[in-house]
Structure 1
Amino acid sequence: MADTFAGHASVTINAPRAKVWDAFVTPETIMQYMPVTSVVSEWKEGSPIVWTSEFQGKRFEVRGTILRFQPGRLLEYDHSLPIFRPSGVAQAREDRRVTIELEDLDAQTHVAVTEQGNKNKREFEHSEGSWRMVLNGMKALLEGTRV
């Protein structure tokens, strides 16, 4: 059965695939284009991944597990919603799956993201909008066009 509310976003970045991949797995770089204050993972299949953020004086965490990891090509992980919950609040089971795929296009890299597990149109729209923002932020950072 198809995932009716799977969110999709993609972008082509004027940078080699190795540089784009590094931007997905290097915490210092991730923090420049995602609204997080830390990212912790061993970046291998089966390892946890934890994103931390602060908003209005409250700390929030998103926890997941890396399901597939093919350096330079594919990163797939699961995580739970709501994306931002106060630290210490019970973690729901992981019910979202994100797949990030990188493909060479000459000197450019095409990035495609799919997020499965959205339960309704609102979650679907949030997923697609968030990933478009993240990918555009990464593109601007890597191409040196950030304002």
Structure 2
Amino acid sequence: MTGHIARAQTEVAADRERVWEALTDPEQVARYMMGTRVETDWAVGSPITWSGEMDGKPYEDKGEVLRADPGWVLEVTHYSPLMGQEDRPENYHTVRYELASSEDGGTVVTLSQDGCSDEQQAEQFSQSWQGMLDELKKVVEPS
């Protein structure tokens, strides 16, 4: 990972397999990512797109699956035209989800995202990612 890094973490009262399912099932992703539709086959090297609407405007972000170790690590690149940068490799960042079993049988989800321009942007992205992980927790944990 390069540049300033955004980080977020949560502990979920569910096993790693259940959390993995939520990270890779489009219906569940839409529930914790504000309606975002994700499309990919999750094979390493495959394209991935995220689409939806933000502030009344449609968007489509894209990237590539870098690593998909079910129940352990999911890593993708990500590019968003909404950031106002050209679609060039240096304007993609890497998002990595790591899953670890907690002592009580739950899962610790750790997210990191590189490519932030400075510490302030890293902190803003950290807060956004934390909000997303908080929503993931609500989707995954049994009611």
TM-score by length of 2: 0.87
Aligned length: 141
What secondary structure sits across from 1:6 in the alignment?
Answer: strand
Matching residue of 2:96: 99
Which segments of 5 or more consecutive residues in structure 1 lack a partner in the other structure?
A: none
Q: Partners of 2:48 and 2:19 in 1: how far apart?
A: 19
In percent, how many aligned pairs have the same letter?
A: 31
Residues 54-93 of structure 1, C-alpha deviations (whole Å, 9 max, x = no match): 13442101101011111111011111245x369xx96343
Higher helix share: 2
**Ranges in structure 2 where 5+ consecutive residues have no aligned partner:** none
Give a deviation string over 1:31-66, Cα, whole Å, max 9, x none: 000023311001110011100011344210110101
Detail structure 1 runs of 4+ shifted over 2 Å in the superposition: 55-58, 89-95
The aligned counterpart of 2:128 is 130
Q: 1:66 to 1:5 in 2, by over 3 A?
A: same
Contact 1:66 1:78 in 2 (8 A): yes
Partner of 1:42: 41
Q: Distance in 2 between matches of 1:36 and 1:123?
A: 24
2:79 corresponding residue in structure 1:
80
Q: Which has the higher contact order (CA 8 A, sep 6+)?
A: 2
TM superposition shift of 1:4: 5.5
For normalisation by structure 1, the TM-score amounts to 0.85
